[in-house]
Structures are given as C-alpha cells and as structure tokens.
C-alpha cells in the first residue's frame, strides 16, 4: 500500500531501509522531524539515537560510530550545517563514511527558520577548508528523498566519503504518495583482505582503501592531520601529494553523475534548476511547450561533482539557459563556466518559492 510521507519522513525510511542504525543529532527546524522519527524508530530496531549538545558533537558521534562499521547519519539545517563544517572536513580527510542531511532554510545566520531557501549549494561543496572530495545529492520529490538517501549510504561506503543530501523546507514539509521499495540495493563496505598486522588504513594501492571496523582486531590511527598510509601524521611532500591526488580523484564523476534531462531534443531554450525549484521549472517547461516554445529541462540530481562536461555538451544546441534557484546566484556560476551559450539567472531569496508563473514571465519577456 502506498504511504503519504513528508520529505523528512521519506529520508528516515530511506536511511532505515539501507541499514542506518545510528543517528546523532541536534534538533533544528525544518529538519527536526528526522531526529524525532529516528528517536522513535531506531531503538526498536537495535539502533542508537543520541541527541548531542550541538551539531559539531552530533557529526562527531556519527563519525565515531561509523568507524565501528555502523551506518550513521545526522540531519540539520543551515546554522547547524555551518557548525558541522569542521567535522565534514575531518570525515573527508580521515575518509570516514557518513550521511549528512541538510534541510535548507533561509540564511545567513539564524535567517528564516520556517521558510525555504537553496542558499547552501556552494557551502555544501566548499564550506569546509582545504581541497576535499564530496558528493552532494539534491532530491526534488518525496520519492527521491527516499531513493537518494539509500544511494547516499551506498556512495559513502563505496567511496569512504561524507555524502550530503541537500533537501529544503519545501520538501521537508511536503507530503506525497510513495511506494516503499521491497528490495533495497545495499552495498556494504569493503572489508580488508589482509590480516590485522598487514593492514594499512590508507593503502595507496587502492583508490578507495578498505576500511576495517574498529572492534574487529584491526588497530589503526585516525587523524585530521595529513597522514601516510599507516594513518600517522606526515609532512613529507611526496606523501602529502600522493594523498591529495588520491583524494581528488577517488570519486569518479561519470559514476556518480545523475541528471534528469527532458524535452532537450529540439530545445533552443533550457530551464536549469535543482531540488524543489525544479518542480516549478518543470511546470513552466510544460506550459511553454503548450505555447509551442522549444524549451528543455535540465536538473542535476548529483550536484557535486558538478556535471560540467554534460552541461557543455547539452548547451551546444541552445540559445539560452535560464538558471532558476532560490538564492542570490550560486549554481548559476558553475553553469556559466560550463555552458557554451547565453546564461541568465532567475532567483530570489525572500523565503517564498519561485512559482512557475514567475519563471514563465521572465522567459516570455
């Protein structure tokens, strides 16, 4: 039987279905339902729910439990996401799998707690210092909140990386009908093939070295400092370069790339958007098509790594791309870098959704 779920509830279902058994969090609107539902469901499944003293500690708790081999998740919104940046960097450096849900709300600072925004698109990529790999997935429906959460856990284990799900207030509090999957494709972490005495946690022969769970006899050092293959700090330029290059190349763009491309065969104009605003854009595309305008629709589902090559290829036959986003202009810069056609921006950050009518008006005039 189908269920009527909100975006937050669908994320919880996706996480539990993919085997998440630990949630460390700190409630914040509009993500609090995730913590609430997790606190009710996890203990009944043998999992652990911990409310920490703040968001820094929340992600810290998740990283600790993830190192023991347990799939772990946290959820927050803008202000909490800012606090988590420190540990996102730690997770990237120490290569610890974890899933972070950021239900975006208006910012900066405390901003607009109960109103939506897409203001964290660049923060999700470059919020933490230093070069680091990251995967950011952006759902646009309740079904995708569910399926992308499952995907996020698989990516984080496969590539030993933090994965961020960028939801927003619109999806968080929107309810839609979804059918939960009967069979879930769960890809578990690679377990080391060598005995403990030969184990190297950052073995450079692998692009993504197997991660031994703590408590199974494998002993190793975890640090935020640049480290060698054993996990101990080093400043040897050769070793530093080797680590940096491996980190930079460990997430293959073509493997994680996921895009929703529609009506592009004969398109001269294209509406480009991500997340919930893509729903407005899709409606605008359908209405413009009814007026015999040749309009296409592009929506990256995996926003980081950004699909530069794909946008470049698709833009060759276009006159103009309209980038619609609920901020003052973030992802539009990346589209400009990639596209070989004119790029225009439709955006605002006043706490209200960009309606299909607003997009139509801009495209028609």
Would you tell me which residues interact with another protein (CB under 8 A)? 1-4, 113-114, 170, 173-177, 279-280, 282-283, 286, 353, 355-357
Q: How far apart are the C-alpha atoms of 344 and 197, rounded to whole Å?
A: 58
State the minimum distance, in angstroms, from the CB of residue 100 to another protein: 24
Please report where in the chains the tokens 């937050």 appear, as a residue.
Answer: 8
Q: How far apart are the C-alpha atoms of 101 and 62, rounded to whole Å?
A: 12
State the minimum distance, in angstroms, from the CB of residue 23 to another protein: 24
Of the pair 1, 235, the CB lying nearest another protein is at: 1
Give one DSSP letter per residue of 330-363, joined into a string.
SHHHHHHHH-SSEEEEEE--SSSPPPHHHHHHHH
State the minimum distance, in angstroms, from the CB of residue 257 to another protein: 24
Of the pair 150, 174, the CB lying nearest another protein is at: 174
Token pair, residue 55, equals 């968001």
CA distances from 223 to 170, 233, 284, 338 (A): 38, 7, 49, 36
Q: 42: number of CA atoms within 13 Å, CB side?
A: 27
Of the pair 179, 255, the CB lying nearest another protein is at: 179
Q: How far apart are the C-alpha atoms of 321 and 155, rounded to whole Å?
A: 30
State the minimum distance, in angstroms, from the CB of residue 175 to another protein: 4
Of the pair 9, 95, the CB lying nearest another protein is at: 9
State the minimum distance, in angstroms, from the CB of residue 350 to another protein: 14
Of the pair 173, 312, the CB lying nearest another protein is at: 173
């Amino acid at each position: 039987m189908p269920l009527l779920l909100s975006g937050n509830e669908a994320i919880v279902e996706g996480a539990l279905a993919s085997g998440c058994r630990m949630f460390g969090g700190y409630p914040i609107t509009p993500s609090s339902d995730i913590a609430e539902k997790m606190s009710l469901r996890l203990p009944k499944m043998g999992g652990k729910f911990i409310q920490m003293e703040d968001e820094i500690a929340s992600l810290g708790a998740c990283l600790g439990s993830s190192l023991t081999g347990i799939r772990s998740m946290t959820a927050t919104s803008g202000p909490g996401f800012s606090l988590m940046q420190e540990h996102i960097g730690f997770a990237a450096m120490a290569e610890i799998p974890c899933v972070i849900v950021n239900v975006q709300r208006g910012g900066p600072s405390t901003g607009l707690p109960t109103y939506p925004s897409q203001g964290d698109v660049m923060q999700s990529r470059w919020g933490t210092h230093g070069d680091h790999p990251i995967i950011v997935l952006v759902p646009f429906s309740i079904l995708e909140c569910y399926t992308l959460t499952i995907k996020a856990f698989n990516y984080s284990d496969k590539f030993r990386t933090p994965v961020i799900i960028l939801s927003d207030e619109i999806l968080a509090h929107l309810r839609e009908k979804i059918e939960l999957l009967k069979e879930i494709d769960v890809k578990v972490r690679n377990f080391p093939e060598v005995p403990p005495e030969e184990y190297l946690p950052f073995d450079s022969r692998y692009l993504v070295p197997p991660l031994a769970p703590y408590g199974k006899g494998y002993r190793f050092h975890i640090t935020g400092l640049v480290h060698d293959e054993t996990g101990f700090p080093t400043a040897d330029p050769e070793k530093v370069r080797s680590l940096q290059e491996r980190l930079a190349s460990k997430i293959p763009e073509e493997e994680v790339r996921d895009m929703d491309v529609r009506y592009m065969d004969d398109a001269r104009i294209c509406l480009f958007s991500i997340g919930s605003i893509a729903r407005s854009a899709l409606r605008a595309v359908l209405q413009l098509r009814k007026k015999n305008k040749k309009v296409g629709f592009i929506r990256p589902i995996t926003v980081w790594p950004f699909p530069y090559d794909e946008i470049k290829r698709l833009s060759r036959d276009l006159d103009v791309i309209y980038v619609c986003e609920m901020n003052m202009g973030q992802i539009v810069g990346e589209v400009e870098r990639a596209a070989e056609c004119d790029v225009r921006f439709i955006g605002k950050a006043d706490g209200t959704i960009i309606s299909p009518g607003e997009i139509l008006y801009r495209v028609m005039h």
